[in-house]
A and B are shown apart, each in its own frame.
Chain A
Amino acid sequence: MPVKQILMGINGDEAVAYAAKHALVDVCAAYPITPQTIIVEKFAEFVANGEVETEFVRVESEHSALSACLGASAAGARTFTASAANGIELMHEVIFLTSSIRQPVIMAVADRSPSGPINIHGDQTVSLAQRDTGWIMIYCENSQEAYDSTLQAFRIGEHPDVQLPVMTMLDGFVLTHTLENVYLLNEADAHKFVGRRKPMMLTIEGKQVPLKLDPKTPITIGPLQLFDYYMETKLQHSEAMEKARPVITQINNEWAQLTGRKYGDGYLQPFKLSDADAVILTTGSSAGTARFVARQLRAQGKKVGLLKLRTFRPFPHKKIATLLADVPVVGIFERTHTTGSLGGPIFNEVRSALYDNNIHPTILGYYGGLGGRDVTPDHFTAIYKELLKIKQTGKTPRHPIKYITVRK
């Protein structure tokens, strides 16, 4: 039986702030940047009102923000920060460091276009560009999911088998500033779900030592490692990411029991895939718009489906290969800027996931919505029409990549 929850009308940023409050964050260091500012302002309000006991550290840049969180995390604190675009880019060095030192910092990313030209609106270029930094990455479809995924992130990242940082993405303005129906847990239920952070335990000379900066058990964190050990440490990191796979599903199931809300298997949410002739695969708020269109087209008897990708790291390559195995035509919509490649990150990882299958669907990549360019139901209707035509005629376009929502 799901617990009783509180219904509020709040936007994605506020939802994230509530999640951080409910997670009993020990230290928060953040620097403001549109469209993340509401997260930090709201959370600072909670701290100032004494609604949560957090050391709120005001810093002079995003590089310092994540550095402060990393340091606090290394000392055993549960930490949280948030940023966007240029801020993420500025802290990029520390993003690599945080995961390499196995610190479960939780960061909300208000997905905003990278400058230049200067733009404050939403697209996923910057977040997808972090895919090699070794963080767990979860994309949110709506303000409800912004709360749910951010709160889950603490459990996922801090899990004893995992110990990795997690970033949760919300599309700039489209989710950050969009008020929607959001159910929040009661504080007691939230605290019970999230528990307290336990540091990773090391066995050193027969003794259990926490991976934590503590004068009682002094250790060195973040040392130099040259060609003789660096790669071994990196392999441990890759293995930790693999260990995150069952944890994400487990937390998703636990959340479903607690709240009544389930996000597929935690990675992928299929909608009417089983007999679909054409499927769109996408992430974030666009998944909602595409599903809205899929429902309309199904009501007209068209055999279409929608596959929402929620967790991008670790990438659910096996499940995607299974789910798309029998789909004739797939259109992948990415809200990212690509240059010099055949398609963007999601397009390539999906194709790679399907490479070893005996039969492959026709896979096309659609690129649009950059710089906050609106992605409307009409755009998805047009994509579905194109995909269905390909299924019908068997004629595939010569080039699988198409730019939409743009004036050529």
Chain B
Amino acid sequence: MTERIIDLRFHGRGGQGAWTASILLARAAITEGKHAQSFPFFGPERSGAPVEAFARISNQEIELHSKVYEPDYVVVIDPTLLAQVPDTIVAGTNRKTKLIVNTREDGKTVAKDLGFKGEVWTLAATDLARELIGRPIANTAMLGALIRATNLVKLESLFVEVNQQFGERVGAKRSRHSTCI
């Protein structure tokens, strides 16, 4: 019996930490004894260009090595992408997909504007980031939102990875960031 693989797609702009977010999630899953993959997809490698990152999580070894086409969960870290590249954000999604978006708008409006059929979770993550860590970097808050929406991994597992990635001092701030959801 092949175990179910959960597929995720993250959308951001170069420099916003979409790739880092997928790495932190994958590492958190691995510390919980799961199997994970995380990989980026670059168009032109430059700051500000739209970037996609992917993750897979499973209870069994993941043998396949190809892109994610039908994500179970989609995380959007930069709200300006909703207007700029709406097709890539809804690509491969359906009614069962969960969309977790960094936006000040409400879920219904986001879904309508995108033509998205699944469940939408929203968080004004950039505002929260400015408030809690003094910088408009929303990726760790969005990971918190993802966990709240999906229970994919435990929040504590994420904290360990965030602390390791950013060092104890910054990591503690970022972890608070994730819990305030």
Contact = CB atoms under 8 A, between A and B. Distances in A.
Chains A and B directly touch (beta carbon < 8 Å): yes
B68 to A, nearest CB: 10
A54 interface: no
Main secondary structure of the interface of A (DSSP, over half): mixed
A204 interface: no
A79 interface: no
A9 interface: yes
B26 A377 contact: no
Interface in B9-46: 23, 26-27, 30, 35-40, 45
Contacts of B2: 292, 295-296, 299
Interface in A269-322: 285-286, 288-289, 291-292, 295-296, 299
Contacts of B67: 374, 376
B64 interface: yes
Given A177-B39, A295-B2, A9 B65 contact: no
Given A9-B26, A177-B40, 7 more contacts: A142-B65, A171-B65, A179-B39, A180-B35, A181-B61, A295-B63, A376-B67
B39 A376 contact: no
Interface residues of B, number: 21
B63 A9 contact: no
A9 B66 contact: no
A19 interface: no
Contacts of B166: none
A9 B69 contact: no
A171 B27 CA distance: 22
A375 interface: yes
Nearest to A376: B66
Contact of B65 (A11, A175, A296, A299): A175
Contacts of A388: none
A7 interface: yes
Nearest to B69: A376
The listed residue with most B CB atoms (<10 A of its CB), out of A8, A11, A179, A376, is A179
Interface string A157-187: 0000000000000010111011111000000
Nearest to A10: B27
Contacts of A376: 66-67, 69
